[in-house]
C-alpha cells in the first residue's frame, strides 16, 4: 500500500499540474480576443515587463502604441514583434519616444497618439524608476526625479487621455504598480512613496470615472525577476519544469505579470496583487510585516 501511494502521488500531482497548465494556456488564448482591434498604449515598452505586454497584446490583435525613451530599443522591439507576427491578424505598432520623468513632453505625446488613432481604448501605465539607499543619503533632487517618473508622469498622461475615454464612455486604465504601494520596505523610501502616491491617485480615480464606464485597474506584483531555465521548443517536460520554477520562485516573472495584465483587461478587475504568501500576509498582518520587510530588503 505504501509503495503504491509513493508511485501514485507524484503522478497525481503531475496530472493536476498539467491540467492547471492547460487551463492557463486556454485562458491566455481566450484573453486575447478582448483586445482585438483595440488601441492599446504601453509605456516603458522597452523594459522586461513592457516587452512581454507588447508581445501578448500584439499577438492578441491590438493596435499598439509602444512608448519608451530609447529609440533604438523601441526599434529592436518593433522588429522582434514584426518578425513573428501574422500580418493578417496583427497591426503594425506605432513607436513613440516618451520619458515620463520629462513632464513637459507628456501632453505632446498624448496629442500625437490621439491624432493618429482618434482614441485610446486601453492605457497600460508601466513606467517605473527605482532607487535603493538610506533616506538621509538620497538627495531631494533624486526624490523629485523618482516622483516625476513614477507618479507625476503617469498621472499627467492619464489626465491627457482621460477626457477622450469619458466622452466615449468606454476605456480602461491599468496601472502596473508594486506591493510597495501598500507595504513600506526599508531603504526604499523614495520608491515606496511614489508607489503609494500612484496607488492613491488611481484608487480615487476609479471611483470618479465609474459612472462613465471607464475602468481603472491596478496590478501590484512583488519585485519582477527572471528565471534561468530555457527549454527547447517542443520539449513538454522542460516546459513543465519551467512552469513549476516560475511558480516557486519568490519574485514575479515578466511573462506572468503580462498575462495577468491581459486577464485584468479581459475581466475588468479593479485590484490585483501578485505575491507569494509571505509578502501577501505582510500587507494585512502587522505581526508578519517586519519579517517580510527583512526578506524584501535583503
- List active site positions: 191
C-alpha cell at 247: 511558480
Q: Helix, strand, or coil here: 15?
A: helix
Question: In whole angstroms, what is the distance from residue 297 CA to residue 37 CA?
Answer: 42
C-alpha cell at 274: 501578485
What is the number of other CB atoms lying within 10 angstroms of the CB of residue 135? 12
C-alpha cell at 76: 529592436
Strand partners, 252: 224
Q: Is 32 within 8 Å of 59 (Cβ atoms)?
A: yes
Question: In whole angstroms, what is the distance from residue 218 CA to residue 125 CA?
Answer: 9
Amino acid at each position: 500500500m505504501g509503495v503504491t501511494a509513493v508511485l501514485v502521488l507524484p503522478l497525481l500531482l503531475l496530472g493536476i499540474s498539467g491540467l492547471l497548465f492547460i487551463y492557463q494556456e486556454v485562458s491566455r488564448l481566450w484573453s486575447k480576443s478582448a483586445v482585438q482591434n483595440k488601441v492599446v498604449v504601453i509605456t516603458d515598452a522597452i523594459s522586461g515587463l513592457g516587452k512581454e505586454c507588447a508581445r501578448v497584446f500584439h499577438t492578441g490583435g491590438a493596435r499598439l502604441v509602444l512608448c519608451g525613451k530609447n529609440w533604438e530599443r523601441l526599434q529592436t522591439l518593433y522588429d522582434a514583434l514584426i518578425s513573428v507576427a501574422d500580418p493578417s491578424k496583427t497591426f503594425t505598432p506605432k513607436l513613440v519616444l516618451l520619458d515620463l520623468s520629462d513632464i513637459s513632453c507628456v501632453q505632446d505625446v498624448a496629442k500625437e497618439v490621439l491624432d493618429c488613432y482618434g482614441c485610446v481604448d486601453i492605457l497600460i501605465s508601466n513606467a517605473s524608476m527605482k532607487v535603493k539607499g538610506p533616506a538621509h543619503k538620497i538627495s531631494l533632487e533624486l526624490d523629485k526625479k523618482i516622483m516625476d517618473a513614477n507618479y507625476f508622469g503617469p498621472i499627467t498622461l492619464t489626465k491627457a487621455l482621460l477626457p477622450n475615454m469619458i466622452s466615449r464612455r468606454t476605456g480602461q486604465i491599468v496601472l502596473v504598480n508594486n506591493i510597495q504601494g501598500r507595504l513600506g520596505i526599508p531603504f526604499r523610501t523614495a520608491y515606496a512613496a511614489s508607489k503609494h502616491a500612484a496607488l492613491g491617485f488611481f484608487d480615487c480615480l476609479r471611483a470618479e470615472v465609474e459612472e462613465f464606464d471607464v475602468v481603472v485597474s491596478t496590478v501590484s506584483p512583488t519585485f519582477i525577476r527572471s528565471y534561468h531555465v530555457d527549454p527547447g521548443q517542443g520539449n513538454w517536460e522542460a516546459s513543465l519544469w519551467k512552469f513549476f520554477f516560475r511558480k516557486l520562485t519568490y519574485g514575479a516573472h515578466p511573462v506572468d505579470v503580462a498575462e495577468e495584465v491581459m486577464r485584468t483587461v479581459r475581466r475588468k478587475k479593479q485590484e490585483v496583487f501578485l505575491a507569494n504568501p509571505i509578502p501577501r500576509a505582510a500587507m494585512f498582518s502587522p505581526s508578519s510585516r517586519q519579517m517580510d520587510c527583512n526578506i524584501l530588503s535583503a
